[in-house]
């Protein structure tokens, strides 16, 4: 059997087992896959649930804002630490230490400071998302072969030109990986923030459904969110592959 056949087989098997195993169980806890499409339809019309469209849009804007800031902060900090040797030597270990801390403990402080609105979600998204970006910039700088820079300088290129035409392309593959991871983490940050404490957004609706034990609706929402995130990450992977092909 080919690999593809095996993979599809496993997927079908999982769905089948899920369906059969869950049918007789308590519907509050266990949702069979067959119940999901119906739940999706109901969600748009059920009065207990808030208007889904607005929440999705809010979450989307929060993610966009968080990622934009994460990229800006990440690139700035990454180049600062990577290009200025002394600054890097002093502050990079501090950054690495921060990496050892479970990120979620910052969230209560963010909630206290920014409130329950979108600001705390964006802040948390930035906090999570900028790390991989900084790390990838640092790694990228380090793996630029010194000979390339020497060649450019020997041809008379000035520092800015060297940076633009030699370092950036040489760093591209590494950086795009970090940018992709940063996006994934910004999304996680926003979602976690919403689920842990907010008044609006996809996370809020999930929390709401959970609170009311509307398991089917929660399941559909979670699955769709998961699918959307996977789709975005797949696009990210394609972009990364394209950049890697170009940059070598």
Partner 1 sequence: MGRLINPEGGSRPPSGPPPEDKVAPAKPALEAASPSRYGRFFDSRVGVLGAQAASIAAVVVAWHVAVRTGVADPLFVPAPGAVAGALGTTASEALPRLGDTLAKAFLGYALAVSLGVAGGLLIGSRRLVHAVAMPYVVAAYGVPKILVLPWIALIFGLGTGTAVITATLFAVFPILLMVAAGTRDVDPTLITAAVSMGATRGQVSRKVLLPAVLPSVLAGMRIGVVFAMLGVLLAEMFAGTRGMGFLMQRMAMAFKASELFAATAVVSILSIVVVLSLEHLNQRLSRWR
Q: Is 222 in the site for partner 1 (CB under 8 A)?
A: yes
Contact residue for partner 1 among 135, 167, 176, 183 (CB under 8 A): 167
Of the candidate residues 213, 235, 239, 241, the single one contacting partner 1 (CB under 8 A): 213
First to last CA, the chain: 35
Backbone angles phi, psi at 173, to 5 degrees: -60, -45
Task: Say whether residue 146 binds partner 1 (CB under 8 A).
Answer: yes
Between 74 and 180, CB nearer to partner 1: 180
* Cα 87 to Cα 75, 81, 91, 172, 228, distances in angstroms: 15, 6, 6, 23, 40
Considering just the CA atoms, what is the radius of gyration of the chain in Å? 23
3-state secondary structure of 27: coil
Closest CB to partner 1 among residues 69, 152:
152
* Site map 111..130 versus partner 1, x via CB under 8 A: xxx-----------------
Least CB distance to partner 1 at residue 69 (A): 19
Region of 32-40, 51-59, 60-68, 192-200 interacting with partner 1 (CB under 8 A): 192-200
Identify the residue among 32, 178, 182, 197 touching partner 1 (CB under 8 A): 197
- Nearest 5°: CA angle at 188, between 193 and 177? 150
- Cα separation, 86 vs 76, in Å, equals 16
The residue count for binding partner 1 (CB under 8 A) is 66
Binding mask 40-69 for partner 1 (x = CB under 8 A): ------------------------------
DSSP 82: H
109 touches partner 1 (CB under 8 A) = yes
Burial class (CB in 10 A: 0-12, 13-18, 19+), 89: exposed
Chain-centroid distance, C-alpha 152: 36
CB atoms closer than 10 angstroms to residue 130? 27
Residue ranges that bind partner 1, judged by CB under 8 A: 3, 6-7, 10, 28-29, 82-86, 88-91, 93-94, 97, 100-109, 111-113, 141-146, 149-150, 153-154, 159, 167, 184, 187-188, 191-192, 195-197, 203, 206-207, 209-210, 213, 215, 218-219, 222, 225-226, 229-230, 233
């Amino acid at each position: 059997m080919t690999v593809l056949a095996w993979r599809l087989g496993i997927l079908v098997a999982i769905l089948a087992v899920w369906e059969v195993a869950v049918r007789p169980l308590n519907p509050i806890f266990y949702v069979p896959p067959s119940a999901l499409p119906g739940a999706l339809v109901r969600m748009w019309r059920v009065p207990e649930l808030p208007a889904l469209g607005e929440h999705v849009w809010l979450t989307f804007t929060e993610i966009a804002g968080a990622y934009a800031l994460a990229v800006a902060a990440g690139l700035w900090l990454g180049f600062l630490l990577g290009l200025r040797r002394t600054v890097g030597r002093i502050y990079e270990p501090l950054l690495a230490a921060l990496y050892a801390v479970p990120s979620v403990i910052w969230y209560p402080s963010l909630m206290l400071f920014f409130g329950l609105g979108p600001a705390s979600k964006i802040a948390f998204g930035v906090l999570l998302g900028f790390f991989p970006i900084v790390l990838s910039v640092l790694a990228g700088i380090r793996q630029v072969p010194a000979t390339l820079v020497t060649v450019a300088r020997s041809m008379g290129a000035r520092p800015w030109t060297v940076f633009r035409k030699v370092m950036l392309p040489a760093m591209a593959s590494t950086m795009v990986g970090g940018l992709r991871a940063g996006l994934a983490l910004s999304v996680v940050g926003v979602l976690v923030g919403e689920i842990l404490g907010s008044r609006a957004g996809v996370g809020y609706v999930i929390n709401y459904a959970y609170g009311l034990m509307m398991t089917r609706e929660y399941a559909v929402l979670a699955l769709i969110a998961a699918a959307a995130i996977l789709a975005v990450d797949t696009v990210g992977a394609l972009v990364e592959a394209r950049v890697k092909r170009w940059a070598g």
